[in-house]
């Protein structure tokens, strides 16, 4: 159980293009989803926390107009990298947390990530 | 704020040898502790977690970690590693309230050779 699907797994596009990444919880409802960015051989940096039906909470230094997050349902959150440039190239990973009656101590389950390469 | 330190960026070990991956954390409030494993070009998989109760937690594939509050540590151990254990291991903490955002360490690459 607790499977998170992320699509696409890899995308290569030209500079100036907008790219949408989807994150789905397949067998559970996720009120909260998280988006991370990982640079080569480095740790994951939290970009934003996404809550169903409300605006995402962005971490300091993350441009909300650059990285648009939509969490329209309990099983889907999307990250759109607008007008992408080579410096946006990275590995983006989403996670979702199982919500079980408000106990609040469930771990995050991660998607397999999206390798974004901007030419 | 919380922080996590993984002092060893890489740990080489021979197959069937024991291994310990170190993790220390800093927090002024109670936290949850996690170990995640990442294989190349994949997301993270939860290995084990400490929420409360017994300070020794175990995973199904032979790993274990012990929460030591006085030393603020959560080291990961395995008595006998396999080639397939080669991966990146991340220690993480989260508050036990609110959104429970994860703060990750910088990761330790475990390299198991025959």
As given in the structure block, the two tokens for residue A9 are: 């797994």
Higher-pLDDT residue of A42, A80: A80
User: Tens digit of pLDDT for each residue in A17-28?
Assistant: 999 999 999 988
Residue that the structure tokens 């992408």 belong to: A84
Residue that the structure tokens 């640079």 belong to: A39
The C-alpha R_g of chain A, in whole angstroms, comes to 14
Q: What is the pLDDT of residue B28?
A: 83
As given in the structure block, the two tokens for residue A46 are: 């939290």
Q: What is the pLDDT of residue B33?
A: 92
Q: What is the pLDDT of residue A31?
A: 84
> Exposure string (b/e) for A6-39, b if CB count within 10 Å is 16 or more?
beeeebeeeeeeebebbbbbeebebbbbbbbbbe
First to last CA, chain B: 41
As given in the structure block, the two tokens for residue A97 are: 């947390």
Chain B residues with at least one Cβ partner in A under 8 Å: 32, 34, 36, 41-46, 49, 51, 90, 96-97, 99-107
Q: What is the pLDDT of residue A88?
A: 95
Give B42→chain A minimum CA distance, Å. Answer: 4
A49–B99 CB contact, under 8 Å? yes
B87: enclosing H helix or E strand: strand B87-95
Distance CA A72, CA A25 (A): 13
The pLDDT of residue A110 is above 60: yes
User: Tens digit of pLDDT for each residue in B66-109?
Assistant: 999 999 999 999 999 999 999 999 999 988 766 678 899 999 99
Q: Smallest Cβ distance to A109: which of B42, B46, B103?
A: B46
Query: Which residue, among A45, A107, A70, A64, has the nearest Cα to B31 in the 3D structure?
Result: A107
Distance CA A56, CA A91 (A): 20
B interface test, pick of A108, A109, A116 with most B CB neighbours within 10 Å: A108
Q: What's phi and psi for A86, nearest 5 deg?
A: -50, -35
Cβ B36 vs Cβ B21: under 8 Å:
no
Q: Provide, rounded to the nearest whole percent, the portion of chain B with pLDDT above 90.
A: 65
Indicate the pLDDT class of residue A51, thresholds 50, 70 and 90: confident
Q: What is the pLDDT of residue A103?
A: 52
Cβ A47 vs Cβ A63: under 8 Å:
no
Cis omega (within 30 of 0) on the bond before A117?
no
Q: Provide, rounded to the nearest whole percent, the portion of chain B with pLDDT above 70.
A: 97
Task: For chain B, give the number of residues.
Answer: 114
User: Tens digit of pLDDT for each residue in B60-71?
Assistant: 889 999 999 999
As given in the structure block, the two tokens for residue B8 are: 């060893």
As given in the structure block, the two tokens for residue B66 are: 């012990």
* Chain B residues close to A34, C-beta within 8 Å: 101-102
């Amino acid at each position: 159980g607790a499977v998170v699907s992320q699509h696409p797994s890899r995308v290569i596009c030209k500079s100036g293009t907008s790219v949408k990444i989807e994150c789905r919880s397949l067998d559970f409802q996720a009120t909260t989803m998280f988006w991370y960015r990982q640079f080569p051989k480095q740790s994951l940096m939290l970009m934003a926390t996404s809550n169903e039906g409300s605006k995402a909470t962005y971490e300091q230094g993350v441009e909300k107009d650059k990285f648009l997050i939509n969490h329209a349902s309990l099983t889907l959150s999307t990250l759109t990298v607008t007008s992408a440039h080579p410096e946006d190239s990275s590995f983006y990973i989403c996670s979702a947390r199982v919500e079980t009656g408000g106990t609040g101590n469930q771990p995050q389950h991660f998607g397999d990530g999206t390798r974004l390469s901007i030419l | 704020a919380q922080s996590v330190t993984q002092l060893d960026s890489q740990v080489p070990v021979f197959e069937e040898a024991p291994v310990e991956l170190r993790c220390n954390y800093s927090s002024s409030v109670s936290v949850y502790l996690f170990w995640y494993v990442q294989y190349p070009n994949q997301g993270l998989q939860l290995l084990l977690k400490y929420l409360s109760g017994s300070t020794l937690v175990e995973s199904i594939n032979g790993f274990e970690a012990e929460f030591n509050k006085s030393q603020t540590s959560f080291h990961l151990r395995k008595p006998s590693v396999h080639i397939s254990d080669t991966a990146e291991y991340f220690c993480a903490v989260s508050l036990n309230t609110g959104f429970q955002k994860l703060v990750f360490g910088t990761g330790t690459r475990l390299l198991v050779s025959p």
